[in-house]
Amino acid sequence: MHYRIAVVPGDGIGPEVTEQAVRAMEAAGEKFGISFTFNRVLAGGAAIDARGECLPEDTVEACKASDAVLLGAVGGPKWDALPGEQRPEKALLGLRKSLGLYANLRPAAVFPELADASPLKREILNQGLDLLIVRELTGGIYFGERGHKETEMGYAAYDVEQYSTGEIERIARTAFQMAEKRRGRVTSVDKANVLDTSRLWRKTVTEIAEDYPDVELNHFYVDNASMQLVRDPSQFDVILTSNLFGDILSDEASQITGSIGMLPSASLGEGNFGMYEPVHGSAPDIAGTGKANPIAAILSAAMLLRFTLNQPGAADAIEDAVKQFLKDGFRTCDIAGGGDFCTTEEAGRRICERIREI
Positions in 78-97 near ligand IPM (CB under 6 A): 89, 92-93
Given the residues 3, 142, 163, 212, the one annotated as active site: 142
Distance CA 180, CA 216 (A): 10
Distance CA 314, CA 306 (A): 8
Alpha carbons within 13 angstroms on the beta-carbon side of residue 193 total: 7
Nearest distance from residue 100's CB to Mn ion, in Å? 20
Question: 3-class DSSP state for residue 217?
Answer: strand
Distance CA 344, CA 332 (A): 7
Q: Tell me whether residue 140 or residue 233 sits nearer to ligand IPM (CB atom).
A: 140
The amino acid that residue 167 corresponds to is: E
Q: Which does 225 bind (CB under 5 to 8 A by kind): Mn ion, ligand IPM, none?
A: none
Nearest distance from residue 247's CB to Mn ion, in Å? 4
Start-end of H helices in the chain: 14-32, 45-51, 57-64, 89-98, 122-125, 165-181, 196-209, 222-231, 243-256, 295-303, 312-327, 344-357
Q: Which does 16 bind (CB under 5 to 8 A by kind): ligand IPM, Mn ion, none?
A: none
Q: Which does 89 bind (CB under 5 to 8 A by kind): ligand IPM, Mn ion, none?
A: ligand IPM
Distance CA 333, CA 341 (A): 5
Q: Tell me whether residue 103 or residue 314 sits nearer to ligand IPM (CB atom).
A: 103
Given the residues 190, 191, 212, 291, the one annotated as active site: 191
Given the residues 223, 285, 327, 328, the one annotated as active site: 223
Distance CA 199, CA 212 (A): 21
Given the residues 11, 190, 247, 334, the one annotated as active site: 247
Q: Which residues are 220's β-sheet partners?
A: 189
Positions in 17-76 near ligand IPM (CB under 6 A): 75
Size of the site for ligand IPM (CB under 6 A): 5
Nearest distance from residue 208's CB to ligand IPM, in Å? 24
Q: Tell me whether residue 136 or residue 247 sits nearer to Mn ion (CB atom).
A: 247
Given the residues 67, 130, 232, 251, the one annotated as active site: 251
Q: Which residues are 150's β-sheet partners?
A: 155
Question: 3-class DSSP state for residue 260?
Answer: helix
Residue ranges binding Mn ion (CB under 5 A): 247
Q: Tell me whether residue 19 or residue 136 sits nearer to ligand IPM (CB atom).
A: 136
Whether 247 is a known active-site residue: answer yes
Q: Which does 92 bind (CB under 5 to 8 A by kind): Mn ion, ligand IPM, none?
A: ligand IPM
247 forms part of the interface with ligand IPM (CB under 6 A): yes
The amino acid that residue 89 corresponds to is: E
Whether 334 is a known active-site residue: answer no
Whether 214 is a known active-site residue: answer no
Whether the CA torsion 212, 213, 215, 217 is positive or negative: it is positive
Nearest distance from residue 253's CB to Mn ion, in Å? 11
Q: Tell me whether residue 75 or residue 258 sits nearer to ligand IPM (CB atom).
A: 75
Nearest distance from residue 326's CB to ligand IPM, in Å? 24
Q: Determine the number of helices (DSSP H) and then strands (DSSP E) in the chain.
A: 12, 12
Q: Tell me whether residue 16 or residue 277 sits nearer to Mn ion (CB atom).
A: 277
Q: Is residue 275 within 8 Å of residue 99, measured between CB atoms?
A: yes
- Active site positions, annotated: 142, 191, 223, 247, 251
Rule CB under 6 A: which residues touch ligand IPM? 75, 89, 92-93, 247
